Chain A
Amino acid sequence: AAGVIQSPRHLIKEKRETATLKCYPIPRHDTVYWYQQGPGQDPQFLISFYEKMQSDKGSIPDRFSAQQFSDYHSELNMSSLELGDSALYFCASSSKDGGGTDTQYFGPGTRLTVL
């Protein structure tokens, strides 16, 4: 079965640079979520989109922005990168089925290292 695709898988940037992470949800999934996982921590919710509209917002810095496109893929844009942004960034997708509860399936993640 098709899974969530994320690119790139690894990214190295310098401080103050920008980065763009991409997420392609499971086919026919309409909701995308972004999570950040620092070393030794559990994933923290950043932001989500349903049908191309922002649906929930978590602890996402103002330096970050995201959007969902017409083909349902999503991009997380990160500017003025800081050392503390070094983390694993996961995208998850779900489908609002008839039950209304969304089971989220995670992509393989993008490991961002800021030097």
Chain B
Amino acid sequence: QKEVEQNSGPLSVPEGAIASLNCTYSDRGSQSFFWYRQYSGKSPELIMSIYSNGDKEDGRFTAQLNKASQYVSLLIRDSQPSDSATYLCAVIENAGNMLTFGGGTRLMVKP
């Protein structure tokens, strides 16, 4: 079992809709959670970080964290075709400061 898991997708949503991306993790000691966006052949680009239970909003993006359920999600409102990319969930686990990534979810926003 992977330590961080995501549905690989593709997740297809129409332009203007809400895209919901989910991630689960196994290490209960994990404290830091990140969402990165990665276009094909490019580097991961930080979208959001979240450390406390609840919601964190930044523009069209909302990250949600539930440590009891070991679950973190990303909502993208008013999805645009330019949002089409792979979204990587990343966790800093209890030991060390390295990022452990989920497999990524490919999002396709159709005009």
Contact = CB atoms under 8 A, between A and B. Distances in A.
A103 to B, nearest CB: 5
Contact of B43 (A42, A48, A103, A106): A106
B101 interface: yes
B103 A42 contact: yes
Contact of B51 (A35, A45, A101): A101
Interface residues of B, number: 23
B98 A56 contact: yes
Contacts of A35: 99
Interface of A: 31, 33, 35, 41-45, 48, 55-56, 58, 88, 90, 92, 94, 101-109, 111
Interface of B: 31-32, 34, 36, 41-46, 49, 51, 88, 92, 96-104
12 contacts: A33-B98, A42-B88, A55-B96, A56-B96, A58-B98, A88-B41, A94-B97, A103-B49, A104-B99, A106-B36, A106-B43, A108-B42
